[in-house]
Structure 1
Amino acid sequence: MSTEQHQPYIVLISIHGLIRGQNLELGRDADTGGQTKYVVELARALGEQASVGRVDLLTRRVVDASVHKDYAQTFEALSAKAQIVRIECGGDGYLPKEELWDCLDSFADSAIEYLKQQPRLPDILHSHYADAGYVGVRLSNLLGIPLVHTGHSLGRSKRRQLLAAGHSKAALETRYNITQRIEAEETTLGVAERVITSTQQEVQEQYGLYNHYQPEHMRVIPPGTDLQQFHPPTGDEASHPMAAELARFLANPHKPMILALSRPDPRKNIAELVCAYGESPELQQQANLIIIAGNRDDIRDLDTGAQEVLNDILLTVDQYDLYGKVAYPKHHQSSDVSALYRLAALSKGVFVNPALTEPFGLTLIEAAASGLPIVATDDGGPTDIIGNCHNGYLINPLDRADIAAKLLQVLTCGSAAWETLADNGLQGVQHYYSWQAHVEKYLQVVHPLIDRTETIAPVPVKRRQQLHHDRALFSDLDQNLLGKPEALQPFLTALQANRSCVLFGIATGRRLDSALQAMKKHGIPQPDVLITSLGTEIYYAPNLLPDTAWERHIDHLWNPRIIRRVLEGLPGLKLQPKSEQSRFKVSYYIDPQIAPDIQHLNSLLHQEGQAVNVLQSFGQFLDIIPVRASKGLALRWFADRRDIPLERILAAGGSGADADMMRGNTLSVVVANRHHEELSELVHEGVNIFFATQQYAEGILEAIEHYDFFQTCEVTA
């Protein structure tokens, strides 16, 4: 029977958190966030469709004095055809999701009992998150109903994030039941006939980590946007409290606004935006820059990453003397965000997202829905959003001139062209990113399963090679990959052909932004791990997740203020520009002819109680980093967390800064570049150091053949 005669009965399952139809307590805790809002809005929007017969949202019933009595109601109507149904699970008290695993079988049994009491069984089940996936698999198997799944967040990605934050593997099991969660996700992905995600990037970079990754089962449907909350200006925005809050920073508050809105995370690249603004007198003349970067009472009370971002913003404002042109308010409410978009639109301004990486870009959709043109990073979600909406321009987030030029292109295009961009955004959001658009695409995805016009054959699951890297290849950037462009592509082609078992890492003395710029220019794909600033920073693919546990580890005994004081005034030493300094690196130019030798510098520092690593490279650079930091130590930290033996790591270097990466039990290659003599003493270090006759990437390929590195891979399908 087709769905034209049969209005489907759809059951959504979202177990944890606090779910109700009105006044969602978003942010109350880690379990009551975007997922709860999404499933309630999806249930309500589906229930408003004439082609849908009925929608039930199954969640956990909570009878607990610490939460509202709403969560104890067994039934709550969302509309005439949609309701929330609360099922008993694990007693009455409110429990975090990690403590629900033992009661999920009971939830499933009670859910089946409820469904069998209905006039007819559901046509489709849609589970949300791993716990609901576990329940959905049981219901689907017992009732023979197709299962659709949305993960929202995934255990394998979460595990990587938590390890990077310093949690031990044992703690992940004790606190997060991470293995149980991942097993539930694997089973769910094996049973689900459709998996719905927000972006194609999510498909490849998150679900792609699983053995049951079956891209043919996956469908991308961008989430709906609340067009009642986000809408064009109505004319009364000037009286909103945020207008007065911004005006107190600005000499001319009536100029157009360049609005940036994000949390104070280094990956959001806000300081680079301020630099682009500071280096463009024309941009300063045309518009004010408005930076909304979280909430703060005292910057010193924030975590280290947020402190660095906000300090960089303030110092950059001072460097370019941008007072009266840049607003950076300390506080805003979540309800102020939509007003900020409308204020910017009313000023004929532009919204900018200069992030280094942006998987989706919800703020871009919210800005577009508010009638505000956008400028955004040429990565991930923004490419789709601007491609669909035609309401702005993509930028290279590491090119200040490009950022300024694209902002000026919007701000100086003339009233008619600006209105066209704004109207394109409004129409594009309505067509692609409204709740109506979302549920229309959703029903197109599930109707073939309901009608049984499309059957999904089970796919035999194999152990996926790329999940279980057998070995890793680490290389310096400048001395190994950039010096000879014609040698680079054969190396990248060989590496890509063997990524099934070889994990790729880059270890460089460059800062993150400089490394990314160089990689982009030369077409080097993002590695699995990027070690920057001489081993003081570690970032993980796909979203440049910083290893904060490493930062805490190397902070031991580190005091750069004393280092600069001890070395101040010494002959042959000159501090490098601020752009070359970082939190864990003090960098000098050195003239070896007149400067003290390394042993003497170490002695001076030791006398002041400073245990550090002093590195000299290329005959002219001197870098001082924490005693616990170096390229080699960072490589070993990473290898330990990924359980890759050092004997299966090939480290390629070309200067003295690479030496400790190549000593010990790693396989190593010294490429034949101009500065390879700095590594000449390694010839006495052992049998696992190969001196290539070729330069740059050709030298690495020579070493790969020498060690038979790719052919000895032991990962099997």
Structure 2
Amino acid sequence: MSESTGLYILLVSVHGLIRGENLELGRDADTGGQTKYVVELARALAKNPQVARVDLVTRLVSDPKVNSDYAQPIEPLSDKAQIIRLPCGPRRYLRKEVLWPHLDSFADELIRHVRQVGQVPDVIHSHYADAGYVGCRVAGWLGIPLVHTGHSLGRVKRDRLLEQGTKPETIEDHFHISTRIEAEEKTLASASLIIASTRQEVTDQYGIYDQYQPDRMVVIPPGVTLEQFYPAGADWQFPPIYKDLQRFLHEPEKPIIMALSRPAVRKNVSALVKAYGEDPELQKLANLVLVLGNRDNIGTMESGPRRVMNEILQLIDRYDLYGKVAYPKHHQSDEVPELYRLVAKNRGVFINPALTEPFGLTLIEATACGAPIVATADGGPRDILAACHNGQLIDPLDISDIQAALRKALTDDAQWQEWSQNGLDNVRHHFSWSSHVDRYLEQVHQLPKRRVQSSLSYLPMAPVARLQEEWNLPAANRLMTADRYLVCEIDDTLLGDRDALHQLIERLNQQGQSTGIGIATGRSLQSVLSMLEEWHFPMPDALITSNGSEIYYGPQVVLDPNWERHIHHRWQAGAIRAAMQELPGIELQPPESQGKFKISYFIDEEKAPSFDEIMRQLRRKRLHVNASYSHNMYLDLLPIRASKGNAIRYCAWKWNLPIDRFLVAGASGNDESMLTGNTMAVVVGNYSPEVEKLHGYPQVYFAEGEYSWGILEALDHYDFFGSLKPAMQLEPVAV
């Protein structure tokens, strides 16, 4: 990969089968135009001198049923672009609708990849709803802009299926459509920029979403790879796939009407066959060629494509179109340009009769090869024909309209020639990848000026700009690049002496450029944010709150849902409260002190059982909790896996951070889990009696200074900004 300076762009496209060469377009519903789009976008971006690195991140698939190419962790696309494949759920190939439970883990893997790169991306660009779900989280954690391209939208799909008579419960069961729509809503709210292919997509499709914000949307049509799609030259020869077509056709030399798509109901290929079958003149004028993905056995295809193929075969039989219609079982992606050139060479026409068409990449590919087009009067085709003037729009539900347009293209030689030449002249100007990238990068360079608060953010309801100014929000999360980490409790540790805190902030500003900052506290998130604002402490990179039961990252404070999922194990909040009600001298703290995974009590030591007796009571009832007791009066009950120490170690794993490069600071009993182990630890001078027992631990330094004075003392003790080699306070105790 190139090491030159420039933009680092991270593209995320989770589902389907993605590789650099010979894309299996049409293999299934997940391996369609989006997979080609993202590969070509990655290559085109990498060609631009403003771009230093492009990573196209997708799912790693190790499955004997698919090619081993998809199990390779890294596949170079060019000197500056590569495909990165990361684990996401089972290793076998899965359709996109069942990937949702695995996307949080994919987000974790993406963080670890970026950490290994050692450079924060300038932008994350997510493709489709599943990647939007991942992109919202990772961009929020890192504090960088999110760009999104929907490709297709859940609300539109649901409406279309309902119109076709599909039952709502069937749509939900198969497509998990409500999960998809919720992910799209959050992505639209979080993204700094939405890239659409057509103006209709912006108004008619995104426009039905609650989070529709057209000021954040821009229309940049996809490009066509002109190095592959170009007209046939004088020395052009019939491609090998022509022999496959000849097997079907009595008169293969006749002009071709060609459709190329997946065998999906929306593509409306059956209507095309019906139009051809009911028009004897069309049958005399041209053959019909249907390139409908790759298949081995119609009987083993998914139900939707199987129904479409069976209907097409029945129509061919009904109209006795044998010898006039070709429908090859296989084709390679590098044969597609040759098919377009074949259409143009024998003065045929390319048709897209889809019921709806968000863009129609095949139309500009055919145009670049010199073929006139007939296409549905919807979405992308409208924009393409308006720009290229190279064909005719049709009503896909009107058989006679389809027939008339095809006859005009095949019988009017002057019109055919004009459409062909117009397309060749205009496609390079309006739909090249180089022009797409130029407009794309213009938008990317403007993103820092339109900072958008993530929909997943837990910041208080205040303008981000004000928080940026008052709290000194970092431009990006330093956990991606930091090589050492300072994590502090707030109460009686970080906060308490304003002069000491000011000196600590100054020292971090002067020497802590490679230092990540974290807070680990028993307070709730809102309480923490209020305290930080009151004391003017810079926004940390990580916030561990509610005694380790919640973790938030980045300048916009975005929750880590995987940590919640991890600690949920054996958590029975209702049963715990019921068991604690049986004990005297114990009182629930106010609601603001409670959390989803934290139950907090006041303890009256004169009336309540001892801490050990409380824990025995819970164990007898088979209630599994982790407890922390501090200041002889505060008791927090957490899930068995939750604690400040475990949360710090989880962060170290997630962000690929060595745990022995963490300096942790605390002062009370609920800090014990993070002060012990392989961290560098400091107990500040104003500590509570319950941490006396840590005297003698070789990695625990007891400072003389109180509050942040003690933290400053520990920075020198451990040579924190230097070699990180602590001078041990005590010799290890012989056993």
Match of 2:49 in 1: 50
What letter corresponds to residue 419 of structure 2 in structure 1? L
- Could you tell me which amino acid in structure 1 is paired with residue 49 of structure 2? A
Query: Quick check: 2:188–2:212 contact (8 Å CA) kept in 1?
Result: yes
Asked if 1:435 corresponds to 2:433, the answer is: yes
CA distance in 1, matches of 2:246, 2:12: 43
Cα distance in 2 between the residues matched to 1:298 and 1:69: 22
2:442 alignment counterpart: 444
Distance 1:31 1:264, change over 3 A: closer
Q: Deviations over 1:263-283 (max 9, x none)?
A: 4858343155326743x5xx6
Query: Which amino acid in 1 is paired with 2:105?
Result: S
Say whether the 8 Å CA contact 1:74–1:87 is kept in structure 2: yes
* Alpha-carbon distance in 2 for matches of 1:267, 1:63: 34
State the distance in 1 between where 2:306 and 2:93 align.
29
Counterpart position of 1:199: 198
Higher mean displacement: 215-224 or 145-154: 215-224
In structure 1, what residue type is equivalent to 2:129? A
Q: How far does residue 248 in structure 1 lie from its aligned partner after superposition? A: 6.5
| Contact 2:222-2:431 within 8 A present in 1 as well | yes
Distance 1:65 1:131 in 2: 25
The one-character-per-residue Cα deviations of 1:29-67 (angstroms, maximum 9, x if unpaired) are: 554443333222222221111111211223344556665
CA distance, structure 2, for counterparts of residue 187 and residue 421 of structure 1:
43
Deviations 1:358-415 (A, max 9, x none): 4433332232122112233433322211111122233455667765655455445546
Change (3 A) 1:147 1:423: same
- Please point out which of 281, 290, 293 is paired with 1:292: 290
Aligned Cα root-mean-square deviation (Å): 4.1
Go from structure 1 to structure 2 and tell me whether the alpha carbon gap of 1:459 and 1:427 turns closer, same or farther (over 3 Å shift).
Answer: farther
Offset from partner CA, 1:480-539 (integer Å, 9 cap, x none): xxxxxxxxxxxxxxxxxxxxxxxxxxxxxxxxxxxxxxxxxxxxxxxxxxxxxxxxxxxx
Of 300-309 and 104-113, the range deviating more from structure 2: 300-309
> Which residue matches 1:476?
none
Does the Cα contact within 8 Å between 2:126 and 2:147 map onto a contact in 1? yes
Task: Describe the superposition over 1:559-592 as per-residue Cα deviations: whole angstroms up to 9, x where unpaired.
Answer: xxxxxxxxxxxxxxxxxxxxxxxxxxxxxxxxxx
In the alignment, the residues of structure 1 paired with residue 383 and residue 336 of structure 2 have an alpha-carbon distance, to the nearest angstrom, of 23
Contact 1:350 1:373 in 2 (8 A): yes
Match of 1:668 in 2: none
**Could you tell me whether the CA contact under 8 Å between 1:344 and 1:350 is conserved in 2?**
yes
2:273 counterpart of 1:274 = no
Distance in 2 separating the partners of 1:426 and 1:36:
25
- Structure 1 residues 311 and 110, CA gap change in structure 2 (3 angstroms): closer
When residues 384 and 171 of structure 1 are mapped into structure 2, their CA distance, relative to the original with a 3 A threshold, is: closer
Equivalence map 1:187-586=2 (5 Å): 187-234=186-233, 235-238=235-238, 240-242=240-242, 245-246=245-246, 249-250=249-250, 253-261=252-260, 263=263, 265=265, 267-268=268-269, 269-271=271-273, 273-274=275-276, 277-278=279-280, 287-292=285-290, 294=292, 306-312=309-315, 314-316=317-319, 326-329=324-327, 331=329, 333-334=331-332, 337-355=336-354, 357-396=356-395, 406-407=405-406, 409-414=408-413, 418-449=416-447, 452-455=448-451
Distance 1:69 1:122 in 2: 29
Q: Quote the offset at 1:340 in angstroms.
A: 3.3
Q: Tell me the amino acid that sits aligned with residue 202 of structure 2.
A: V
Which residue number corresponds to residue 111 of structure 1? 110
Give how far 1:419 is off: 4.0
How many angstroms apart in 2 are the aligned matches of 1:92 and 1:313?
40
Paired amino acid for 2:242: M
Distance of aligned partners of 1:215 and 1:337 in 2 relative to their CA distance in 1, 3 Å threshold: same
**Residues 197, 358 of structure 2: 8 Å contact kept:** no
Q: Which consecutive residues of structure 1, in runs of 5 or more, have no partner in the other structure?
A: 461-717
Whole-angstrom CA distance in 1 between matches of 2:149 and 2:389: 29
Relative to 1, partners in 2 of residues 1:140 and 1:396: Cα closer, same or farther, differing over 3 Å? closer
For residues 386 and 57 of structure 2, what CA distance do their matches in structure 1 show?
A: 36
Instruction: Work out the CA distance in 2 between the residues paired with 1:63 and 1:354.
Output: 36
Q: Matched residues in 2 for 1:409 and 1:173: separation?
A: 44
The 8 Å contact of residues 276 and 403 in structure 1, kept in 2 or not, is answered as no
Note the 1:549-628 alignment, pairs <5 A: none
* 8 A contact 1:270–1:309 mirrored in 2: no
Q: Quote the Cα distance in structure 2 between the aligned partners of 1:7 and 1:296.
A: 43
Q: Which residue of 2 aligns with 1:528?
A: none
Question: Could you tell me how far apart the structure 2 residues matched to 1:103 and 1:343 are?
Answer: 44
Give the deviation of 1:11 after TM superposition. Answer: 1.1
Give the Cα separation in 2 of the matches to 1:236 and 1:255. Answer: 18
d(CA) in 2 for partners of 1:118, 1:161: 42
Q: Describe the shift of the 1:392–1:9 C-alpha distance in structure 2 as closer, same or farther (beyond 3 A).
A: same
Question: Could you tell me which residue of structure 1 aligns to residue 154 of structure 2?
Answer: 155
Superposed, 1:11-30 pairs within 5 Å as 11-27=10-26, 30=29
TM normalised by structure 1 equals: 0.53
Quote the offset at 1:145 in angstroms.
Answer: 0.6
Deviates more, 1:20-29 or 1:42-51: 20-29
Q: Number of paired residues?
A: 443
Partners of 2:398 and 2:219 in 1: how far apart?
31
CA contact (8 A) 2:76 2:83 kept: yes
Tell me how far 1:194 sits from its aligned partner. 1.0
Secondary structure of the corresponding residue to residue 53 of structure 1:
strand
Decide whether the 8 Å contact of 2:192 with 2:450 is kept in 1.
no
1:360 counterpart SS class: coil
Tell me, in whole angstroms, the C-alpha distance in 1 between the residues paired with 2:435 and 2:162: 38
**1:237–1:339 Cα contact (<8 Å) kept:** no
In structure 2, what is the equivalent of residue 144 of structure 1?
143
Q: Report matched runs for 1:164-179 at 5 Å.
A: 176-179=175-178
Change (3 A) 1:105 1:339: closer
- Partners of 1:98 and 1:243 lie apart in 2 by 38
The amino acid of 2:428's aligned partner reads Q
2:669 paired residue number: none
State the secondary structure of the residue aligned to 1:127.
strand
For the Cα contact (< 8 Å) 2:239–2:338, is it kept in 1?
no
- Displacement after TM superposition at 1:432 (Å): 2.4
- Alpha-carbon distance between aligned partners in 2 of 1:437 and 1:422, rounded to the nearest angstrom: 21
Task: Sort the Cα spacing of 1:393 and 1:56 in 2 relative to 1 into closer, same or farther, 3 A.
Answer: same
* Paired amino acid for 2:268: R
1:235-267, Cα deviation, whole Å (9 max, x unpaired): 44446452674486445x544444455548583
CA distance in 2, matches of 1:254, 1:69: 39
CA contact (8 A) 1:257 1:347 kept: yes
Report the residue type matching 1:182 in the other structure: I
AA aligned opposite 1:273: A
Shift of 1:132: 2.0
Asked if structure 2 preserves the Cα contact closer than 8 Å seen for 1:44 and 1:82, the reply is: yes
Q: Say if 2:68 is the partner of 1:36.
A: no
CA–CA distance in structure 1, aligned partners of residues 90 and 353 of structure 2: 47
SS at match of 1:76: strand
Contact 2:152-2:358 within 8 A present in 1 as well: no
The secondary structure found in structure 2 opposite 1:212 is: coil
In terms of Rg, which structure is larger?
2
Amino acid at match of 1:290: L
Please list the CA deviations of residues 658-689 of structure 1 after superposition, one character each: whole Å capped at 9, or x if unmatched: xxxxxxxxxxxxxxxxxxxxxxxxxxxxxxxx
Question: Over residues 298-348 of structure 1, what are the superposed CA-to-partner deviations in whole Å (9 max), with x where a residue is unaligned?
Answer: 999985565555544554568xxxx88x44456553555443332221122
Whole-angstrom CA distance in 2 between matches of 1:357 and 1:94: 28
Task: Confirm whether residue 9 of structure 1 aligns to residue 11 of structure 2.
Answer: no
1:150-205 per-position Cα deviation (integer Å, ceiling 9, x unaligned): 22333334444666778765565565444333222211111001112223333334
Superposed displacement of residue 129, structure 1: 2.3
